[in-house]
Amino acid sequence: MIMNYGGDRDHNTICAVSTPAGYGGVAIIRVSGPQSLNIVSKLASFLPEHPESHKIYFGTLTSVLGEMIDEVLILFFQQGKSYTSEQTVEISCHGSPAVSQWILQELISCGARIADRGEFSYRAFINGNIDLVQAEGVLELIESQSRRSAQQGLRQLKGGLSKELRTIENNLLYVLANIEAAIDFSTEDIDVINKEELQKRTSATEASLSKLINSYQSGRVISEGLHVALLGEPNIGKSSLFNLLLGEERSIVTEVAGTTRDVVESSLMVSGVRVVFMDTAGIRKSTDVVEKIGIQRSLESQTSADLVFFLFDGNKGLSDGDLQILKDVDLTKLVLIGNKTDLVNIPEVERRTRVQHQLVAGKFFKNPELVGEFLKTRVFFGSTLEHTFRSLIFGCLEQQVSKDSFEDEAVVSQARHFDNLSKALELTKAASKAFSKDFSADVEFVALDLKSALICIQETLGERFDDQIMDFVFKQFCIGK
């Protein structure tokens, strides 16, 4: 359903509680729109007729019937100096839901209306205070579940990604303007194109788009967390490893194969990033209806996971069943964990050599030379009964979440941005390819590709939008933001 933005509603004065629902020390009620001060003044007689912007006033709020509601602090923002760029008043009252709801009812009776989801941010966008990318940065900051996620959202809110996109936009506009001038003068045999400069600008655009697209995986992990699926045959120690990593008994562990019937999730923080572990049902052939459903979910979890911790018997090496399962696992996600090494004393070099031969024989790597590097960084041996094994696995996780550092750079973390920029890159590549040869015959097609790429960038920034895009972005916000 499309939210009811636009029309006369954009000129209404809106109000909402901006702090989380429930009891607390303080609740903040935000009022925004042309009648904000006039409406609030009906309840706050202590406000001066012309309050100063960004100044706090203290007093008792009273209802339209003269009943005392609460002692409050009122902060006034002049038009053009607030988050929405509208005249805005923020009321800080005691954090009782009964008090805040009473104040909202009084504001409505005086002429305000309840804000829609994300309407304050929508107005900030419409009034030019933020672009659509920055608005999404606000949401990421609000919903951040880790320090690095919060930092990433703040960089986006402050315009880091927007700046990169505007540079790309300006380069595309420059190239398009020159190409269209060449088209206009083509009938007069006047060559107005500096092909070298246009090629340089197009190549720079292609490089910038590629860099942003390549940051998506790391940006998404920082934003949403790193998802790790624990996979393997039944009774191999997945639940034991799950409990060891979390430091608590979250999954039931028994000697009965098939104890885990469904995907069990839990998370913790690793190097400032949320890591979500998924304990899955052991994969085997089964006639049990419930277990078969659990096994199917196990197989599905490895598709959505960022990492797959595949457990096997470290004393026997990879079984035929293990090798069959691994054929469907993305090797770029795979970490092999040989468990139960406390049961048999075998030199680790022997264990690794066995796994190496099995991987090569199974043709998991097109280039066998890559197996050696995989063994060094993605294969571990130990026992889930030994606490030191936890440190070994955490070292792998820390390396994974820290392998790409984007602390001071623009990062793409949302699917909408990734999709738009991927389309823009393909179109720009087509234009760049044309510049490498005599493109005079295809100049109109080059212009068409670059125009389409430009539209992708402008849609990302919100310079071009429709109701569906607005609904997709702002419906994710809570009421009050």
Answer yes or no: do 341 and 235 share one domain: yes
Domain boundary residue among 77, 110, 131? 131
CB atoms within 10 A of CB 75: 18
- Helices marked H in 132-215: 132-143, 147-157, 160-185, 195-214
The answer to whether residues 227 and 250 belong to one domain is yes
Domain end call among 109, 131, 153:
131
Q: Which two tokens stand for residue 220?
A: 């998404």
The predicted-structure confidence for 409-436, as pLDDT tens digits, reads as follows: 788 988 999 999 999 999 999 888 877 6
Task: For residue 444, tell me if it sits in a domain.
Answer: yes
Shared domain check, 74 and 25 = yes
**338: confidence class by pLDDT, cuts 50, 70, 90:** very high
Q: What is the pLDDT of residues 22-71, one digit of tens each?
A: 899 999 999 999 999 999 999 999 999 999 999 999 999 999 999 999 99
- 298 and 258 co-located in one domain: yes
CA distance 239 to 309: 12
C-alpha 19/C-alpha 479 separation (Å) is: 10
Residues 101 and 17 reside in one and the same domain: yes
End position of a domain, from candidates 354, 385, 402 = 402
| Average pLDDT of the residues in 146-150 | 86
Whether residue 481 lies inside any domain: the answer is no
- What's the confidence (pLDDT) of residue 297? 65
How confident is the prediction for the chain on average, in pLDDT? 85
- CATH number of the domain at 446, please: 1.20.120.430
Question: How many domains would you assign to the chain?
Answer: 3
* 57 belongs to a structural domain: yes
- pLDDT confidence tier of residue 261, bands split at 50, 70 and 90: very low
298 vs 433, residue with greater confidence:
433
Rounded to whole angstroms, how far apart are CA atoms 238 and 51? 64
Does residue 457 sit within a domain? Answer: yes
Same domain, 155 and 274: no
Q: What is the reported pLDDT for 256?
A: 43
**Residue 405 clears pLDDT 80, i.e. is over it:** no
Q: Residue holding tokens 């959505």?
A: 304
Supply the pLDDT for residue 87.
97
In a domain, 443, yes or no: yes
Check residue 181 and give its pLDDT: 74
Asked if 346 and 228 sit in the same domain, the reply is yes
CB-based contacts of 88, cutoff 8 Å, min separation 6: 30, 31, 32, 36, 76, 77, 82
Which of 14-18, 181-185, 335-339 is the least confident region?
Answer: 181-185
What residues make up the domain containing 168? Answer: 141-215+410-462
Domain check: are 416 and 432 in the same one? yes
Cα–Cα distance for residue pair 78/203, rounded to 1 Å = 45
Q: Say which CATH number the domain at 239 has.
A: 3.40.50.300
- Give per-residue pLDDT as tens, 88-138: 999 999 999 999 999 999 999 999 999 998 999 999 999 999 999 999 999
Query: If residue 241 lies in a helix (H) or strand (E), which one and from where to where?
Result: helix 238-246
Rounded to the nearest 10 degrees, what angle do helices 415-435 and 132-143 cross at? 140
User: Among 398, 405, 397, which Cα is nearest to 215's?
Assistant: 405
pLDDT at 3 over 70: no
CA-based angle 423:425:430, to the nearest 5? 100
User: DSSP secondary-structure letter at 178?
Assistant: H
Residue 361: predicted pLDDT: 86
Average pLDDT for residues 283-309, to the nearest whole number?
Answer: 65
| 452: amino acid identity, one letter | S
Write out the two tokens for 115.
């804000």
Question: Could you read off the pLDDT of 194-213 as tens digits, one per residue?
Answer: 677 888 889 999 999 999 99
Which of 244, 251, 248 is CA-nearest to residue 386? 244
**Sign, Cα dihedral of 155, 216, 208, 166:** negative
Determine, yes or no, domain membership for 2: no
Residue 226 resides in a domain: yes
The answer to whether residue 272 is domain-embedded is yes
Same domain, 250 and 394: yes
Reply yes or no on whether the pLDDT at 374 is more than 70: yes
Q: Are residues 153 and 170 both part of a single domain?
A: yes
277 and 204, same structural domain? no
Q: What is the pLDDT of residue 438?
A: 63
What band does 170 get if pLDDT is binned at 50, 70 and 90?
A: very high
At residue 385, the pLDDT reads 87
Same domain, 228 and 360: yes
CATH number at residue 14: 3.30.1360.120
Tell me: the pLDDT tens digits for 436-452? 666 565 778 888 899 99
